[in-house]
Amino acid sequence: MTRKVRALAGFALAAGLACGCSLSRDRDGARTHIETGAAGRLTKWVIEQTPFRREDRYGKGAKVYANPRDGAGFPDLYQVRFAGPRGQGMDELRLIDVTFARATSPDSARNGYWFADIPFDSDGNRWDYSKDAALCAMPAVYGKTGRKTFIVRTEDKFVYAGDNGGPQITRRPGAEGPEELRRDWVLFDE
């Protein structure tokens, strides 16, 4: 884990998670606490995927990131259901907090944002979850709780922000190459 990622996580957690702020966007487009909090949770997701992947959490004989194909997806970082050689049951990991794990729809948003696994890579293929995974954060009410959508993937660990009108991202941007990602998304530097 790089120092930059740890520093970003610490700042984002302090600014967004601990304060629980839910301010709306400034008229001049300045970054808000609500956006910083959403980006901070994506950074937290990246950090906690590493200890999750160290073990065969799904009991399928493979060490993979928390994902929606083998389990519930990113909420598995809080509590994972497993079935395999060691039996069946629930393993309460608490790598992320429960309110983050439950923010899986606009109705259950956390401080104005909800989160979803991105099921396809930039080429439209399903992720190989032993190598990479991606997550996005969307405003619960576009224009009111936020305008920016945030994306991150485990391989590069950078959080990107873009205004796509609010819908869920189902394919990671960048099929046209890094130029597409840089054209439509900006690196979100907390």
Q: What crossing angle do the helices spanning 33-53 and 3-12 adopt, rounded to 10°?
A: 130
Of 100 and 87, the structure prediction assigns the larger pLDDT to: 100
Residue 11: pLDDT above 80? no
Supply the range of the domain harboring residue 31: 3-53+103-187
Of 16 and 141, the structure prediction assigns the larger pLDDT to: 141
Answer whether residue 73 is part of any domain. no
Answer whether residue 78 is part of any domain. no
Q: What is the pLDDT of residue 85?
A: 61
Number of domains in the chain: 1
Answer whether residue 98 is part of any domain. no
Of 184 and 143, the structure prediction assigns the larger pLDDT to: 143
Instruction: Tell me the per-residue pLDDT of 102-135, one tens digit each, with 9 for 90 and over.
Output: 999 999 999 999 999 999 998 999 999 999 999 9
Answer whether residue 72 is part of any domain. no
Mean pLDDT of 54-60: 90
Answer whether residue 161 is part of any domain. yes
Of 108 and 80, the structure prediction assigns the larger pLDDT to: 108
Instruction: Tell me the per-residue pLDDT of 143-168, one tens digit each, with 9 for 90 and over.
Output: 999 999 999 999 989 999 999 999 99
* Residues present in the chain in total: 190
Q: What is the pLDDT of residue 18?
A: 35
Q: What is the pLDDT of residue 24?
A: 37
Q: What is the pLDDT of residue 19?
A: 34
Closest by CA to 65, choosing from 57, 165, 172, is 57
Instruction: Tell me the per-residue pLDDT of 32-44, one tens digit each, with 9 for 90 and over.
Output: 889 999 999 999 9
Answer whether residue 160 is part of any domain. yes
Q: Provide the whole-model pTM.
A: 0.80
Task: Give dist(CA 16, CA 36) in Å, integer.
Answer: 6
Closest by CA to 38, choosing from 95, 96, 115, is 115
Closest by CA to 103, choosing from 178, 33, 166, 41, is 41
Answer whether residue 85 is part of any domain. no
Mean pLDDT of all residues in the chain? 83
Task: Give dist(CA 159, CA 43) in Å, integer.
Answer: 7
Q: What is the pLDDT of residue 90?
A: 80
Answer whether residue 66 is part of any domain. no
**Residue 156 DSSP symbol:** T
